[in-house]
Amino acid sequence: MSVLWPALLAGVSTFFLGLFVWVIVQHLLTVEIPSTLKHPAKLRFLHCILLYLITLGNILEKLRICSMPRVLQFVQDLILIRKNPNVVVTDTHFGTVPVRLFKPKEASSKYRRGIIFYHGGGAIFGSLDTYHGLGNFLAHETDSLVLLVGYRKLPDYHHPVLVNDCLNATIHFLKNLEILGVDPSRVVLCGDSLGGWAVATVTQVLTNMPNLPRIQTQVLIYPILHFINFQLPSYQQNKNVPFLTRDMLLMCICKYLAIDLSWSDAMSTGAVIPLDKWKKYRKWLSYDNIPRRFWSQDTQPEVFGPFNEAAYLETKHVWSAEISPLLADDRIIAQLPKTFLVSCEHDILRDDALLYKKRLEDQGVPVSWYHAEDGFHACINLFDKQPFSFPCSMKVANAVACYIKDI
């Protein structure tokens, strides 16, 4: 027995070390770091850690020990949150949905602005704790009451649980604005990445609920707004740029929408797109709507793979506006509130924001837009994570806060 324990320890150590070496090799062979991104070594290190955790999670999932999302969620729960002495934080539930309220400690003689925030994370990670710093920042910097929604995620919950939790928490908030001390004319709906998708979806649903206070502004931070055309310029240019590569994006999409991962190749090549649907929706989905300055010399025209009917039948639900809010009717789009869009140059989802910007503007919706030239996906999450923050992280956080302060 005395020999067994050292042998077991050596075997486990060798496994973890070998896995880390494999991850580094994979990173160096596949990941691209654009020359304009600042602190590339730091970005490589952080991406290797993320890739290591995902790979370890996938191995444990195949061994039926633990699911990959649970591995990421376990690690993120180890992150310590920082308290802000100027902000009062309250954990509670709106119905069955866990939420966290951030309120400036300093008393106010009038009702405050209200910010409802849906966090990102691909429905796999992201939590009330990982976005605690951003909640503190927005509450303090904008003198607002911030509601952070802790919606249910994978592996136990798939679409539409996430968006339903966000919608239900939002309705509860809107019905209790006076109790919470929020000005009904200054309610902001905000979110990043998949949270930005939830913002777009919930805001569209609320247009059919006239009895509720109206959302004054929606703020979408590098959102995903459709699950159809993966051949847009940004999907080509940034498919291997951290933190959201094309493979990682498709993995999150398939898991969240309960699509078998075997169909991801057909989705990426456009083999799931029927000709009749493309003729109807290309006016909103085509790369022709992306300003030419965002095209590169390597940008290829959209050439979809041979249509695969089986793949289409497995993925056809992505064509509903409830899943791809970019496809909403003009009647719905025209009713949306003024919008602030944030995009990042080195983000695979950059062009989703650009397509939505055009849709909104075509229907007369006022749009403000901030584009981070040195930005990448999920950069705002690192704005307070020294020494792992980037210049673009603080730029995006400040841009959002500055816009909201003017409401």
Same domain, 48 and 140: no
Q: Among the three residues 76, 104, 131, which one is the final residue of a domain in this structure?
A: 76
Q: What is the mean pLDDT of residues 362-391?
A: 96
Strands 338-346 and 217-221, bridge-based pairing: parallel
Whether the full predicted model's pTM is greater than 0.75, yes or no, is yes
Judge if 333 and 205 occupy the same domain.
yes
| Residue 46 to residues 49, 81, 383, Cα–Cα distance (Å) | 5, 19, 14
Same domain, 183 and 40: no
Active site residues: 193, 347, 377
Q: Are residues 165 and 214 in the same domain?
A: yes
Q: How far apart are CA 18 and CA 270, in angstroms?
A: 36
Domain's final residue, options 20, 50, 76: 76
- Of 76, 108, 123, the residue at which a domain comes to its end is 76
Task: Note whether 17 and 145 are same-domain residues.
Answer: no
Q: Do 186 and 202 fall within a single domain?
A: yes
Q: Can you give the pLDDT at residue 2?
A: 61
218 with 239, same domain: the answer is: yes
Domain that holds residue 352: 84-407
- Residue 319: pLDDT over 90: yes
Q: What is the CATH number of the domain that holds 235?
A: 3.40.50.1820
pLDDT > 70? residue 1? no
Split into its structural domains, the chain has a count of: 2
CB 131 within 8 A of CB 100: no
Q: Are residues 297 and 174 in the same domain?
A: yes
**271-294 pLDDT per residue, tens:** 999 999 999 999 999 999 999 999
Whether residues 196 and 70 share a domain: the answer is no
Task: Give yes or no for residue 299 having a pLDDT over 80.
Answer: no
My answer on whether 122 and 64 are in the same domain is no
User: For residue 302, what pLDDT band results from cuts at 50, 70 and 90?
Assistant: confident
The average pLDDT across 204-230 equals: 97
Instruction: Indicate whether 5 pLDDT > 90.
Output: no
3 confidence band (pLDDT: 50, 70, 90): low
Check pLDDT > 60 for residue 241.
Answer: yes
Length of the chain counted residue by residue: 407
One domain, residues 243 and 118: yes
Q: What is the pLDDT of residues 342-372, one digit of tens each?
A: 999 999 999 999 999 999 999 999 999 999 9
DSSP state of 215: P
Is there a single domain that holds both residue 146 and residue 259?
A: yes
User: H or E segment at 26?
Assistant: helix 4-30
Which is it for strands 97-104 and 87-94: parallel, antiparallel or unpaired?
antiparallel
pLDDT of residue 6: 74
